[in-house]
Structure 1
């Protein structure tokens, strides 16, 4: 029996941490055991809450909570102090183990007689490619299945120097604490040093870890930790002809790493010069006797280091940068020529100061005053009337703009003016590519639904939705976000992974859902009257979603048959998705014959939800919002397999539904005729769904966003616990002659 201690250091890893922990906990088998020590390195996101959740429910998980952020090495050591297994594996919260990785490692450990170190292959993952090879594959060939020391297989020092591609026997780790320092660059020393110090090394060419590539800024001085790391390595390496190849490999890697640091952006010239001179000193001190300079441009850089000529190096880099810039600018100029001509007014407006009291709002690609931006706008007018609001609204939707609310039409001169000058820009989608974020502007992304379907870069493997999408342009748009509004931790974690750009998550709830807690009985009855719902009828809102594999919308339910089957006790409110042209709606004839009420043109989805007694939907995000009302939800999932495979989803809705699930028209009819749509089993599913997805929605979301973003208040109203919230009354309760005062 082999026990693995997996030490996970987490720093703002909320989008990846669950996958990391699940991969470790599910990787053990009958002949292996695992313990997971998770170190929260003072994360500012939901990482600590995720760690606490796992530690509470699984005794194999141990949480280490650091009171302040420590260097990566120190955080790793803090976790390693808690281990009790036979082998130690170090991961970051963004990494994950491949299926059966621990089983493969246990088998290799037994085959090799429990060596000091076992090295394995890995892949890197970026937003655009989930499996980039490590480049180490050829290095696994020569050693084969033999157990060796570095003296006999010196080329293995070329393996990627990371702790995530090896396990260390626990007593070997304990005996070589000097390799595991407390700074940010400790992977260089323990990764290479563990191979130099080990008496027995084994390898396997199996790919056992996926590493998510990310940039972690160290600050200017952090890079200087490299120098003592390499000094320690050279002491460990020693000298002499027996290790000549190893010396060449370590020297080459050292110089390559130093040159890479010198290309990193953001460093001052003073820092660059200081680092260059230290690197030059190491170059001269550790240069092997048989050193040969590379015969390319990199060789010129080597020569500059060897001569300690920072001025020469800087001139070389500037010349290269100018050459690349000329090519890049020429390409951009050709691409943007038309845009610059068209948006000349915008460019002119960018020269003016930002207006601190101006906020621009838009929703659904300028479709009108609605959704989360609409709710924030209304609350902002109440809390901060001194902030001037301007909405971007398409010309066709101008008649729907509330009286007294200022607006601009896309493309107009004033449109470009307010986009250039506004302090705040709020949207539930992205503003166009042509919008430039100025220093000092604040962009708020509210989103427009909790994600069931894959979003952002998570869509890339699914050709039905990713074909033709320019993801680099998408991420450039997302990089403008300062804040992302979230209704639940599922969304928070998903957005941080699907849109891998820096932004702060506002875990405040969806402002549009405030209405589900603030609406009164009079509001509910008034909406029903406007919609023409007769008193006493059960109104069923049918709101299906868009399907990327369908060019036009045809209801998947036979609505005429359903209306006739359910009879006069029910009325169907049917809302087609806004992606489809309302003029081509197949609902108009059914509406004319009074078999349904076509509400596709009704602007407020929230009011439709308030008016209904139950929701029928398939995969629309409206189900997450509707759950706040604690009313019955029926999921019609007749094409779930097709949808989930082609569109990609985050969880199995048929297993984690907010109520009863129907797979056919007959199922739907039976559920409503025999009462299954609102029985105890459906209510239990809904309760669990609400706990997970209505986490931050309590009626105060818009106020929290307005106070934090626009008024700069850190102290905002706390989220009310779910069991203390009171949703708007149901239509039946609203119509009761004697109802308690809310």
Structure 2
């Protein structure tokens, strides 16, 4: 019996399938079985699965006689599963390196919960990866395992099957299966989380969720998006069959349902032309059918709930147009205020540049104002100890005030005090660059401490790596480098790299 049964339903993804399967088989954790289900794919997917099965005994190749859809293909995979835990992976996504090791360790730490929820990152064709915006909900602090009622905010996460590990015995005992149709994860995930006796979280990205440039069903205008109504009917049927859960979770799921409907309706690329009034009328029917009197609606979603409750496409278009006009006017006003404020600050800065440099002032920052620390923090502490006549200040936003020593002044980025400090402090210390508008004055000393050891490509080395450089203006970069007087280096390797990728007249301080 393997530890994990990784189930991969496959349909028309031959360009991505090798990367998906290899991301599973190349894991450092090897106690697995990989069940690849060919959902009667018309391309080469079936042959690719068979090739993997022929060269690795951990791969089970399952071929369906007809196309049954994602949910039922997963069910077919579960019928062949023998692992302690089930893990679902879509065939255009990938597991991150060592993900299964991390999942296994966390399961042991939390006494083998029914469900383990882990994090994911969206992976774009440009090479960019963006972590889930609700990653804070996956904190491992506090009681573990727990029940959903202990941390109901988990329902704000994307309701998908592939960001969780499920104890197979629990799934089989409760009889959970995936329904047919689009949005099949909805009537699976909600009931599973509500019925789970024990849940744990893993604050680690384990899946790269591929954002396909074309071909994703969620980016295709089709009437199949109406299938969302069937899925929520299944969710509320489950609640009706489990009255012990209904009182607590029905109001929550009602709000989630309305939010989901309004999201689909508002997305311009999902509903075909001419189908939007019908979708809104259907949403209104469900609103009235499943509404919980007195259910609290958050202020930020109240308008969207009102649109679903009214169910009038004409009303929606009127309100939406009014909102767009209001939003555009607000953006213009904000932009105008920002420009006026920016001009005033730059005028203030120009005045400060004409005043004398203060020899007894030093200003420090690290990681773009994210608090006290790194090499600049060590230098600031040393200045206070060994040169107490120099008054030090630290640039940071208010969230990191607690990290700055009480003896050090705090300066907010982008304020008049910030520009005054940059204009008149003799010593400027940072482990990244200051604002590019900074004018380096005679008498000022800028110390670039860097951060870490350069084991990646940086600076001018990125010139032949356009994807990594992402439009870097190398001319502007070198203008900033020209402002450096000293560069702190930890070792000979760092010295050689810094001087090659950031060529300028600064002095290197190889102090360790």
TM-score (structure 2 length as normaliser): 0.58
Cα RMSD of the aligned pairs, angstroms, is 3.4
1:301-341 CA-partner distances (Å, limit 9, x unpaired): 32122123232123444666899999xxxxxxxxxxxxxxx
* SS of aligned partner of 1:180: coil
Shift, 1:51, TM fit: 1.5
- The answer as to 2:245 corresponding to 1:259 is no
Q: 1:63 to 1:241 in 2, by over 3 A?
A: closer
| TM alignment of 1:328-477, pairs within 5 A | 464-466=464-466
Shift, 1:58, TM fit: 0.8
| TM alignment of 1:300-315, pairs within 5 A | 300-315=303-318
- 1:279 aligned residue: 283
* Cα contact 2:75–2:177 (8 A) shared by 1: no
- 1:443 aligned residue: none
* SS of aligned partner of 1:164: coil
- 2:7 aligned residue: 7
Q: 1:242 to 1:86 in 2, by over 3 A?
A: closer
Mapped partners of 1:467, 1:163: distance in 2: 32
1:654-673 CA-partner distances (Å, limit 9, x unpaired): xxxxxxxxxxxxxxxxxxxx
Q: 1:176 to 1:464 in 2, by over 3 A?
A: farther
Shift, 1:85, TM fit: 1.0
Q: 1:266 to 1:33 in 2, by over 3 A?
A: closer
* Cα contact 1:158–1:249 (8 A) shared by 2: no
* Cα contact 1:162–1:191 (8 A) shared by 2: yes
Mapped partners of 1:59, 1:284: distance in 2: 53
Mapped partners of 1:40, 1:266: distance in 2: 27
Q: 1:111 to 1:317 in 2, by over 3 A?
A: same
The one of 94, 103, 111 equivalent to 1:96 is 94
Larger radius of gyration: 1
Q: 1:322 to 1:465 in 2, by over 3 A?
A: farther
- 1:223 aligned residue: 225
- 1:234 aligned residue: 236
Mapped partners of 1:176, 1:143: distance in 2: 29
1:687-727 CA-partner distances (Å, limit 9, x unpaired): xxxxxxxxxxxxxxxxxxxxxxxxxxxxxxxxxxxxxxxxx
Shift, 1:140, TM fit: 2.1
Mapped partners of 1:48, 1:322: distance in 2: 52
Mapped partners of 1:283, 1:118: distance in 2: 32
- 1:131 aligned residue: 129
Q: 1:177 to 1:28 in 2, by over 3 A?
A: farther
Which runs of 5 or more residues in structure 1 are unaligned? 327-460, 472-645, 647-742
Which runs of 5 or more residues in structure 2 are unaligned? 330-460, 472-500, 502-512
Mapped partners of 2:64, 2:51: distance in 1: 17
1:230-268 CA-partner distances (Å, limit 9, x unpaired): 233234446999877744542332222211222343644
Mapped partners of 1:249, 1:465: distance in 2: 48
Mapped partners of 1:228, 1:289: distance in 2: 23
Mapped partners of 2:325, 2:107: distance in 1: 53
* Cα contact 2:277–2:312 (8 A) shared by 1: no
Number of equivalent positions: 336
1:427-473 CA-partner distances (Å, limit 9, x unpaired): xxxxxxxxxxxxxxxxxxxxxxxxxxxxxxxxxx96524269999xx
1:88-120 CA-partner distances (Å, limit 9, x unpaired): 111111111111211122222222222211111
* Cα contact 2:176–2:192 (8 A) shared by 1: no
1:468-500 CA-partner distances (Å, limit 9, x unpaired): 9999xxxxxxxxxxxxxxxxxxxxxxxxxxxxx
Shift, 1:41, TM fit: 2.6
- The answer as to 2:86 corresponding to 1:85 is no
Q: 1:165 to 1:266 in 2, by over 3 A?
A: closer
- 1:638 aligned residue: none
Mapped partners of 1:241, 1:290: distance in 2: 20
- 1:185 aligned residue: 183
Q: 1:321 to 1:176 in 2, by over 3 A?
A: farther
* Cα contact 2:28–2:97 (8 A) shared by 1: no
* SS of aligned partner of 1:210: strand
* Cα contact 1:51–1:63 (8 A) shared by 2: yes
* SS of aligned partner of 2:158: coil
- 2:302 aligned residue: 299
Mapped partners of 1:321, 1:42: distance in 2: 45
Mapped partners of 2:324, 2:11: distance in 1: 34
Q: 1:72 to 1:168 in 2, by over 3 A?
A: same
- 1:23 aligned residue: 23
* Cα contact 1:20–1:94 (8 A) shared by 2: yes
* SS of aligned partner of 1:253: helix
* Cα contact 2:262–2:308 (8 A) shared by 1: no
The one of 179, 195, 199 equivalent to 1:197 is 195
* Cα contact 1:38–1:79 (8 A) shared by 2: yes
- 2:348 aligned residue: none
* SS of aligned partner of 1:6: strand
- 2:168 aligned residue: 170
Shift, 1:167, TM fit: 0.9
* Cα contact 2:96–2:206 (8 A) shared by 1: yes
1:353-398 CA-partner distances (Å, limit 9, x unpaired): xxxxxxxxxxxxxxxxxxxxxxxxxxxxxxxxxxxxxxxxxxxxxx
* Cα contact 1:145–1:204 (8 A) shared by 2: no
- 1:153 aligned residue: 151
